[in-house]
Structure 1
C-alpha cells in the first residue's frame, strides 16, 4: 500500500491561504439582500429542495464546529422533513471552515459527492459530523488523516482518490473563497450562521425558532 498523505503536506496546503480580516458581525435579525447572497462563487452551491421554493436558506458552517454538528443531528432532519421535502425551503450549505481540519473535511465531502445528486453531499456532511470526535478533536494530529481516510474509504474512495482530493488547489482555494466572502460581505464571524430569506440568525436554532421566521413567508 502506498504511504498516506503526510500531515506536513496537508497542513502546508491548508495553511496557504491568507488570514481573513474579521469584520463586525451583523446584529441578530439584520437582513441582507437575497440577490447578494445568491451571487455564485468560484465553486458551485449545492442546494437541497426546489429552486422555486418561497424561502431560501443559506447556512454557513464549519465541519469542526460542535454547534453545527448538533444542529445537523438534532434539528436539521426536522427542518428537512417539514420544509425542504415539501418544497417550501431551498437549503444551501456554504463552507466556513474554522481551521485546516474543517477545510479538509469540506473538500472531502465535495470530492466524494462530485457529479452525484445533492443529497450525497449532505449525507457526507452528516457522516463527517456524526464522526466528528474521531477526526476533528483528536489531540494527535497524526490521526486526523487516517480517520478521514477511513470515512472516505467507507464511501468507496481509494487512497489515491483521497490524496488527489486533498491536493486539489482549485478546490482548496474555492472553499476558502466561500469563507472569505461570507466574512467580508456578510460579517460572519462564527458558526453556524443562517440567512433565512436574508434574515440573519446566529448560533444554534431550534425547529420552533426556525418556524417562527419561516412561516410568515409561507402565509404571504
Structure 2
C-alpha cells in the first residue's frame, strides 16, 4: 500500500467511524455491524486496488501477498479499535442516563423565558439526523410545547468538522444574520436548503433580504468563531458525542439547567413522554 493509498484509507476509515458514532439513535450492536461492514468494504477496495494479483514471477506474487497480509492485520487492529469505542458507548448507556449542569450561555432562545422546562439542543447544520429532527419533530414540539409556554428552547452549535467541513461556517452565518434580526429565519433556511457550500449561504442571505455585504463581512471576520467553539466544548464536557444531542431539565434562575441527555433524532412521541413526565412531577410538587 502506497503512502497516498494508506492516507486515503485512513481518511475513509475515520469518516466511517465518525458516521457510525453519529448514529446516536441506533443500538450498539447495529452500530458495530455498520462499522465492521464499512471497514471491510473499504479494505476490499483498497486491497484489490493497491495490490492486484497479476501474472508475474513467484517473488513478486509473494511480495504482494505479504503486503496484503500486512494490510489485513492493520485493518483488524482498526476494527478492534472501533469495537472498543462502541463497547465504551454501550457501557455508558448501561450506567443510566447522563445528567449534567449545562449552560444556556447567551445562545438563541425560543419560547417563554419562564417556561417550566428548558430544552437545549446541540446541533450541526449539515447533519442529516439534525435535519430530520428539524423537519419531522421540531415543528410538533414547537406547536405543542414551545408556543404554549411549557418549554423554552435553546439552540447551541456543535459542528462536526471532520465530516461536515462547512457546518461551522453555516453556524457563523446564522449568528451574523442575528445582527440583522433574522437568526431564526437563517437557521430555518440553512436546514431547509439542500445545498451545503459556503457560496450558497450567500444566496440565502439574498433570499432573506439581508444586507449581504454586511453579512459577508461579518462571516469573513470570524467574530463568532469563539462563541461556536465554546458551544462545542460545553457540549462535549456535558457528554454530547454526536448530533443532535439534547439536554432537558427544569428551568431555574441563572444561566444553567440540570439536564438529562437525550441522544439522536428521537421521534416526537419520545419527547412528549419526557416532557409530560417532567411537567407532571413538577406540578405534583407545587
TM-score band (shorter)? 0.7 to 0.9
Residue 32 of structure 1, aligned match among 94, 99, 102: 99
* Higher RCO structure (Cα 8 Å, ≥6 apart): 1
User: Relative to total residues, which structure has the larger helix share, 1 or 2?
Assistant: 2
Inter-partner Cα distance in structure 2 for 1:194 and 1:39? 12
In the TM superposition, residue 114 of structure 1 has moved relative to its aligned partner by: 2.2
- The answer to whether residue 100 in structure 2 is matched with residue 48 in structure 1 is no
The answer to whether the 8 A contact 2:125-2:190 is kept is yes
Tell me the TM-score normalized by structure 2.
Answer: 0.58
Match of residue 141 from structure 1 = none
The answer to whether the 8 A contact 2:115-2:151 is kept is yes
Count residues with an aligned counterpart.
Answer: 180
Tell me the TM-score normalized by structure 1.
Answer: 0.75
Inter-partner Cα distance in structure 2 for 1:110 and 1:213? 30
- The answer to whether residue 141 in structure 2 is matched with residue 104 in structure 1 is no
Match of residue 176 from structure 1 = 229
Match of residue 82 from structure 1 = 144
Match of residue 119 from structure 2 = 57
Q: Map Cα deviations across residues 81-113 of structure 1 (whole Å, 9 max, x no partner).
A: 000000100100100011241111111111112
Mark the CA change 1:159 to 1:115 in structure 2 (over 3 Å): closer, same or farther: closer
The answer to whether the 8 A contact 1:54-1:217 is kept is no
The answer to whether the 8 A contact 2:112-2:149 is kept is yes
Match of residue 9 from structure 1 = none
Match of residue 190 from structure 2 = 128
- The answer to whether residue 255 in structure 2 is matched with residue 202 in structure 1 is no
Inter-partner Cα distance in structure 2 for 1:134 and 1:46? 24
Larger radius of gyration: 2
Q: Which runs of 5+ in 2 are unaligned?
A: 1-84, 250-258, 282-286
Deviation above 4 Å: which 4+ runs of structure 1?
none
In the TM superposition, residue 115 of structure 1 has moved relative to its aligned partner by: 5.9
Q: Which runs of 5+ in 1 are unaligned?
A: 1-21, 136-143
Mark the CA change 1:157 to 1:76 in structure 2 (over 3 Å): closer, same or farther: same
- The answer to whether residue 253 in structure 2 is matched with residue 187 in structure 1 is no
- RMSD of aligned C-alpha atoms? 2.1
